[in-house]
Amino acid sequence: MVRLTVLYPKSGDTRFDMDYYLQKHIPLVKEKLTPFGLVRGDLEEGLAGPAPGTAPAYHLIGSLSFNSLEELQKALAAHGEEIAADIPNYTDSKPQMQISKVLEVKEPAASA
């Protein structure tokens, strides 16, 4: 499985319209990418930094999972520009993106 992760950096003056993102952008992404093999999407809203009272580094981290790199690349080739064109409608943060292979973490064997 491969995953496209999109991170929206948060600074003091960046805006992020969560309602628009959830009500309009996410349905657009699902509609356009599901026919190309999108199997899962996960969202993480930033709440805080690691130290008490600190701001989160990101407004939101989103990830889109596909069974193969080829599926992901075909999906982005077909609809990536259209999806990216919607970004200014909900944020002025410059998203960072990475494609990764999902690795399975195995539980250690039980000792006798």
Looking at residue 30, which CATH number applies to its domain? 3.30.70.100
Give dist(CA 95, CA 32) in Å, integer. Answer: 19
Instruction: Say if 52 falls within a structural domain.
Output: yes
* Overall number of domains in the chain: 1
Residue 34 lies in a domain: yes
Is residue 106 in some structural domain?
A: no
Range of the domain at 96: 2-101
CA dist 55 and 47 (Å) reads: 7
What pLDDT is stored for residue 112 in this prediction?
62
Question: What is the residue-level pLDDT of the chain in tens, covering all 112 positions?
Answer: 999 999 999 998 999 999 999 999 999 999 999 999 999 999 999 999 999 999 999 999 999 999 999 999 999 999 999 999 999 999 999 999 999 999 988 888 777 6
Asked if 71 and 79 count as a contact pair (C-beta separation under 8 A), the reply is: no
108 in any annotated domain: no
Q: How far is CA 55 from the centre of its chain?
A: 20
In the three-class reduction of DSSP (H, G, I as helix; E, B as strand; rest coil), residue 17 is classed as coil
